């Protein structure tokens, strides 16, 4: 604390990202990065952009990227006016909290969810109420419908850190029943096994769908995310963005993300590889006695009935394998394990096999 700080700064509880270790020999299964590299077409586009053009500011609206995203979803009536892009979906979400969720009534999100949501609430002074997930960690739409007045609803689908998927029909039921609230669906992991709500955007003016290139497109280091919604919602995000930073996406990010969206073959191949490794990992964990929640993401959430999760995480760390452990009460006995390559998954399973004996 310092007398120089603005009053709000001392009240913030900043988000703690997963560890990015300096040692490169570690098996890193803690931050849901994609083990397969980005599209080679994206890397080539980025390399071509490195040169004298960096003298010049980038396109402030990242127009080529908005066009590519709109084209990708054109069959659902999406145009560039339905697309907002930002420096990672974390920035898109932050702008959405300020632009669309700052109202008198509290916003609603699950008790177990992406821990950045309460952080944005403290930054933008948005009141919130958490709605407990069911005992099996699924989200019950009815609990949101009976919760009383709200200033908006946000949840990841699949949820983080559980990996559990809410069926699209349930997302639609929520958006349809709450026409006066903005419903934000954070689809960071949807490409690994869910149905996106983007096809619903044309019918629901209150629905905003947020996606990222960090997970399924393996570009966490480039920092690109986007939102899709009807133009009224997008305009609100643009107004905040243009009051904050006119150029959130640099030249490399714009061309790299555009090429990545256009490389359907690489996307399909790597996404299917992650899904296949997830199945191997789940079966291996179950064989060792773990309970694994059904995952539609590129990570699994698992607990062992006889072994403490914090202790397991520490033991794995000493073997050079990092997984994520959260200490909040309901999930303190779970480990969140990113789906790595088959080889990384087997390294993890081999280590667990020795320690669980
Ligand atoms: C990873 C993640 C994000 C943020 O991704 P960016 O790298 O900022 O695009 C957003 N929401 C959830 C639920 C995530 O897990």
Domain boundary among 220, 242, 263: 263
In a domain, 1, yes or no: no
Domain with residue 17: its CATH number is 3.90.1150.10
Residues 242 and 347 in one domain: no
Q: What is the pLDDT of residues 344-355, one digit of tens each?
A: 999 999 999 999
> Ligand 1 within 6 A of 220 CB?
yes
Residue 270 and residue 136 share a domain = no
Residues 209 and 172 placed together within one structural domain of the fold: yes
Q: Which of 234, 263, 292 is the last residue of a domain?
A: 263
Which residue is closest in CA terms to ligand 1's atom 1? 188
Tell whether ligand 1 has an atom less than 6 A from the beta carbon of residue 187: no
Does the predicted TM-score (pTM) go above 0.85?
yes
90 in any annotated domain = yes
Q: What is the per-residue pLDDT for 16?
A: 84
Could you tell me if 142 and 247 lie in one domain?
yes
Q: Are residues 76 and 61 in the same domain?
A: yes
> Where does residue 62 fall: left (phi above 0), alpha (psi -120 to 50 degrees), or beta otherwise?
left
Q: pLDDT tens across 290-331, in order? A: 999 999 999 999 999 999 999 999 999 999 999 999 999 999
pLDDT tens-place string over residues 222-244: 999 999 999 999 999 999 999 99
The distance in angstroms from the start CA to the end CA of the chain is 48
Atom nearest to 212 CA in ligand 1:
9
Tell me: pLDDT of 151 over 90.
Answer: yes
For ligand 1, say whether the CB of 86 is within 6 Å of any of its atoms. Answer: no
Total domain count for the chain? 2
Residues 138 and 55 placed together within one structural domain of the fold: yes
Instruction: State which residues form the domain around 174.
Output: 40-263
Q: How far is the CA of 4 from the centre of ligand 1 (A)?
A: 32
Among residues 227, 245, 263, the one where a domain terminates is 263
From residue 192, alpha-carbon distances to 210, 273, 334 in Å are: 15, 10, 21
Is residue 284 located within the same domain as residue 257? no
How much is the pLDDT for 312? 97
Q: Does the pLDDT at position 277 exceed 80?
A: yes
Within a domain: 212: yes
In a domain, 2, yes or no: no
Whether 222 is in the pocket of ligand 1, judged by its Cβ within 6 Å, is no
| Cα–Cα dist 264/217, whole Å | 10
Q: Is the CB of 33 under 6 A from ligand 1?
A: no
Which atom of ligand 1 lies closest to the CA of 213? 9
Please report the pLDDT score of residue 19 as a whole number. 77
């Amino acid at each position: 604390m310092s007398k120089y700080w603005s009053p709000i700064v001392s009240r913030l509880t900043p988000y703690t990202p997963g560890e990015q270790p300096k040692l490169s020999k570690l098996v890193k299964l803690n931050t849901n990065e994609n083990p397969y590299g980005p599209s080679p077409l994206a890397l080539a586009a980025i390399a071509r952009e490195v040169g004298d053009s960096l003298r010049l500011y980038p396109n402030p609206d990242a127009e080529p990227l908005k066009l590519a995203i709109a084209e990708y979803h054109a069959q659902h009536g999406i145009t560039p006016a339905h697309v907002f892009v930002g420096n990672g979906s974390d920035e898109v979400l932050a702008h959405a909290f300020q632009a669309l969720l700052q109202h008198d009534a509290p916003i609603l999100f699950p008790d177990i969810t992406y821990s950045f949501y309460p952080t944005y609430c403290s930054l933008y002074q948005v009141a919130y109420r958490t709605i407990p997930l069911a005992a099996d960690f699924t989200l019950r739409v009815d609990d949101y419908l009976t919760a009383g007045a709200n200033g908006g609803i946000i949840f990841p689908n699949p949820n983080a850190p559980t990996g559990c998927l809410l069926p699209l029909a349930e997302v639609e039921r929520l958006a349809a029943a709450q026409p006066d609230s903005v419903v934000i669906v954070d689809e960071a992991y949807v490409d690994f096994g869910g149905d996106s709500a983007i096809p619903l955007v044309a019918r629901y003016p209150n629905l905003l769908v947020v996606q990222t290139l960090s997970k399924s497109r393996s570009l966490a280091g480039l920092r690109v995310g986007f939102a899709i919604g009807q133009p009224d919602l997008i305009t609100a995000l643009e107004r905040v963005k243009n009051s904050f930073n006119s150029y959130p996406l640099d030249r490399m990010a714009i061309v790299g993300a555009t090429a990545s969206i256009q490389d359907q073959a690489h996307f399909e191949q790597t996404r299917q590889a992650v899904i296949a490794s997830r199945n191997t990992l789940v079966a291996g964990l179950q064989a060792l006695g773990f309970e694994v929640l059904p995952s539609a993401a590129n990570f699994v959430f698992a607990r062992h009935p006889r072994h403490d999760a914090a202790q397991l995480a520490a033991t794995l760390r000493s073997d050079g394998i990092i997984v994520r452990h959260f200490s909040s009460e309901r999930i303190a006995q779970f480990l969140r394990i990113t789906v790595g390559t088959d080889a990384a998954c087997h390294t993890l399973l081999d280590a667990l096999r020795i320690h669980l004996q």
